[in-house]
Amino acid sequence: MDGAIEVRKLLKRYNFKVPIYQRRYEWVEEHYQDFWYSIEEALNYIKSNQNYQDVYFGSMLFHQKIAGCTLDIIDGQQRLITISLCLAAIRSYFKNNPVKIDEINEIIYYDFDRCDLNESSNIGKIIVSERDSDSYIKIINGINLDSIKRNNTIEKSYNFFIDKLKNESDSNINCIITAILNHFKVTHIILDKFEDAGWMFYSVNNLGKKLDELEELRCLFFGWMKEEKQKEFYETYWSPIESEYYDKPFKLMDYVKTIAKYNGYVQASDPIKGLCNKIKNHDKDLQGKNSENFLKQMNFFWDIYQWIINPLDSNMRKKYPKVTRHLILLSFLKPDDVYPIIIKASDLCNFTQKPSINDQDTFIEILKTVETYYIRKITCGNISNISDELKYFYSFKEFASPEEFLREIKMVLFPSLPNNEIFGESLKNSPLYHMFRGPSIINFILFGIEDYLTSGTTDILWNPSTYSIEHIMPQSKNKIWKEYVGEDYEKIHDEYVHNLGNLTIVDVKDQNILGNNSFEIKSEIYQQYSYKLFESIKREKWDKDSIVNRNIILTDYAKKIWEAEGSVFEKVIPHDILIGIYYEDELIEDIKNWNQIPGFLIGKMANTDPKKFQNMVLSHKKIFSTKEKAGFIYISEAEIFFKKETAAKKIAELCSTIRTSMGWTSNNWYGEAERVENGANRIFKFC
């Protein structure tokens, strides 16, 4: 470590580089305004010839991998780049003074004599991150900023100094140069061959302004990789994806979260936290192996992910039009919790290579299962536990075939769904348009019904943005419709205007024409549509009975399209009678009642994965105890006490939790029970 030295000496002595794991230049006006205040203070002292106390510009931390070469900046990037931008702005005011221009260029240009870099053109003293380099190099080389497309932080900082210098005299600007180069001092610390420079950056920067999620991930991904791997993996796997979301980093984080869930990194409902902890806990010893594998997966599934979230813009649209139709429908609902499952299914069905016809059909069935799950949950207002129900598929990675995956997803998701009666009542009686995600739900249902009625031949799915939801009886109450409907208009309007039966989809260009017009005028326009949806609208009158009848028609279609009877498993309810438990297709003879099931499964869990077993016990303290208690029975296989009088439904839920935690499928275990319904006994399976 050297003592505090002038900025001039620091910049002349070394070249600098922002390593891949670093954050980008992020200073905003409040930061470089503080820097300018310090310049003004120094300027006043210099002009008055007073003894001036040097400005201490803090400490800077660097990593020198090769003696005499470029320093990697661990801490100090924002200050160094700001100084160089300010000097570049000053240089623009000395166009006719080559001496001053040379003096500044000597400070801000890269010194090729100090490194083995090939000298192809003037570049900045600081080799900034790839995301900042376009603007920075043009500024350092004095190129017109009109050629810079993005209004980024580099350009904003430079323009700030340009504006500040407009009203300064030549003598003042000379004094400013003197202040920055001779009176601003820093303490610089150079770490020689320090292998954990990325970890040092991570620790130092989280003490100040915390890294955001994206910055933290970039640091963790690349900070522990060997240097030769950093550049390769950044350019091959990270940079192409990051550049797609240059101005929308939150969308990149959505993709990272999806792949994190795909890998089972779910911690406290935060997949990014789980991923970061995984990398922090293991990558130091693995030299970045977890990071490498994750980045490869991001690259591997990129096209699939784009197909899922933007099916109309994907290059896979023309290859697989039948599949794309279902992805378009799902895109109305934006079910991001399901994206990891769809990616897993696409991999199982070989869409990352070349899927067979059978693979494509199975994938479509999986998508239809997801559609059914989401639309039944949302329309019935039952969405709070979606993430919990899907965690099973995040953590369970191995399925023998796409067909097994399809069977398993139905087994896990369908038993919790509202039945046809509840689903139908919600569709018929709810003001769907005003529900949570109302317009999205309506689009999904109406486009889905039209696609079903035309056996997948309708063209409206390929241009959904050209259509809009139309209220046949207008949303706004008006005299025309009041006279048309009659004395019960207010009541009928309030009750039915947002219901499914009163809604359709029309071409956007017709929307203004239709508006609040009478049904007679609207009907003339409806007659021009050849879509199946309009067959139930083409009538002489539109009143309460018309809406109710159409509601029934559309609801029956919806129940048939998004049928949830594909699972052979059901949920246990109170008073169900246990018949038996099967493990690896063998009946376990010793289990005769509900209270014996947890003992058997917990014993298997304790012997297979003791850590998961301990976590499960801690999260179910009301029914488990490590000490003997009244009303508890001892489970010798797991050396734990279990509450004897635990309801069958609670036991079934516990079994489901164990199965999910262990990644067991119905191939591992399932049960049979008997239920009395309408005076008759019925046997069903549960898992």
Grade residue 548 by pLDDT with cuts at 50, 70 and 90: very high
Residue among 364, 361, 398 at smallest CA distance from 667: 398
176-190, 412-426, 578-592 — which one is most confidently predicted on average? 176-190
Q: Average pLDDT of 118-136?
A: 75
pLDDT digits (tens, 9 = 90+) for 600-649: 777 788 888 887 777 777 777 788 888 888 888 887 777 888 887 777 66
- Give the pLDDT confidence score for residue 499 in this predicted structure: 92
pLDDT over 80 (residue 651): no
Q: Which residues contact 618 (CB under 8 A, 6 or more apart)?
A: none
- What helix, strand, coil percent values describe the chain, rounded to 5? 55, 10, 30
pLDDT for residue 500? 93
Average pLDDT over the chain, rounded to whole? 82
Rounded Cα gap, residues 453 and 535, in angstroms: 11
Q: How confident is the model at residue 550 (pLDDT cuts 50, 70, 90)?
A: very high
pLDDT band at 195 (very low <50, low <70, confident <90, very high): low
Give the CA radius of gyration of the chain.
33
pLDDT confidence tier of residue 268, bands split at 50, 70 and 90: very low
Q: Please state, in angstroms and rounded to a whole number, the distance separating the CA atoms of residues 159 and 244.
A: 27
pLDDT (0 to 100) of residue 1: 47
Could you tell me what percent of the chain has a pLDDT over 70? 84
Ranges of H-type helices in 414-536: 420-429, 438-453, 479-485, 489-496, 508-514, 519-526
Model pLDDT for residues 59-105, shown as the tens digit of each residue: 898 888 776 678 888 889 999 999 999 999 998 888 778 888 888 88
Give the per-residue pLDDT at 207. Answer: 58
pLDDT at 119: 47
Residue 26 has pLDDT above 80, yes or no: yes
Q: pLDDT tens digits for 408-458?
A: 888 778 877 888 888 888 888 888 888 878 899 999 999 999 999 998 888
| pLDDT at residue 388, as a whole number | 67
Residue 566 is predicted with a pLDDT of 56
**Domains annotated on the chain, with CATH:** 4-205 (no CATH), 213-300 (no CATH), 306-418 (no CATH), 435-559 (no CATH), 577-686 (1.20.1380.10)
Q: What band does 322 get if pLDDT is binned at 50, 70 and 90?
A: very high
Name the one residue in this structure whose structure tokens are 């499964």: 601
Number of neighbouring beta carbons within 10 Å of residue 177: 19
For residue 56, the cross-strand partners are 185
**pLDDT at position 577 over 90:** no
Name residue 434's amino acid: H
